[in-house]
Amino acid sequence: MKAESEPSIAKPNRDLAIDRIRGALVILMVAGDFAGGVNWVPAFLKHAPDIGFTIADTVAPIFVFLIGLNFGPSFKRRLSQHRVGGYRHFFTRYLSLTGIGAIISAGADLADRPEGWGVLQSLGVAGLLTLIFIKLPIWARFVSGLVILCGYQYLLDAYFLENVLGSGHGGFFGAISWTALLILSTAVADIWRKGMKPFLVCNAALIAAATISAFIVPVSKNRVSLSYILISLAMSSLVFLIVKALSRFSSEKEGLLCWWGKNSLALYLLHLLVLSVFGLPPAPWWYVEATPWLSLVQLAGVLAFLSFLAWRISHYRFNNNSNH
């Protein structure tokens, strides 16, 4: 007897504002990864070495926030169609992200460029752990996220600071703090769906909490500190609010940012291969010690090439869907 097949899941209409933000973030991520190894690029455009907050430190948490926006509705939609299949889909998705990140880290080690725990591992673990909390009501997710965050900060200061600082993106332990951000993001997303007035109140509360936390706990992406998470959450929610407001005046047609946003994972993986063209050759003048004009030309070429691929992938998918 054949196993019960999962019914097809109707896809909801895509939110172009979310795709555009995601696309802009991936472009910033590519540019930031490229700039991170170039000597002349100023420090405020690179990740803070420990305590501090730069423009490069904003990309990952906003990306997590965007995942949180659709996490709940997507999970409920799949669960309503097939209970076991819904959990299995999300479990497989985030376990795969963790695995892909581990493969990338292993490849970096073989290339003698160890990076340790990567961003995909953090996203994968955060997604898996969020499954435990996603069916809770909004207030319970807020409480859970804050309790996890406070508990993490206590253990970080008391026991795990050296371990976390020695790992990329906070390592496995730091993934707990990223999980708190994702859980809180799902709660903020549900408040947004309740209407603009409660969402504005929520934003005001987030800004107040973030401001207070900055005076209590050092802001650090490397530590994935409590203040970094709360500031990032408030900033992400505010950015989303602004982009949604501006989207009323924008075209309903997809464009460059949507092409990037719809294919964010593929382009993220491809950019690692493309950047190896600059990072691997043992010629300092080519990348690390490159002149500003050479670096800018190289970066423009990378972005143009990946933009072309984003356009091709999007149009292939569109034509493929049109034929079915």
How far apart are alpha carbons 284 and 218 in whole angstroms? Answer: 35
Q: What's this model's pTM, rounded to 2 decimal places?
A: 0.89
Helix segments in the chain, DSSP class H: 16-35, 59-81, 83-110, 119-130, 138-155, 161-165, 171-194, 196-214, 226-246, 256-262, 264-279, 292-322
Q: Give the count of beta carbons closer than 10 Å to the beta carbon of residue 76.
A: 13
| Residue 300 token pair | 């423009």
pLDDT of residue 52 exceeding 60, the answer is: yes
How far apart are alpha carbons 250 and 253 in whole angstroms? Answer: 9
pLDDT of residue 148 exceeding 90, the answer is: yes
| Mean pLDDT calculated for residue range 135-153 | 96
CA distances from 155 to 64, 133, 141, 150, 161 (A): 23, 21, 21, 9, 8
- Range with the poorest average pLDDT among 12-21, 118-127, 212-221: 12-21
The answer to whether residues 227 and 217 touch, using CB atoms and an 8 Å cutoff, is yes
pLDDT of residue 321 exceeding 70, the answer is: no
| Mean pLDDT calculated for residue range 173-197 | 95
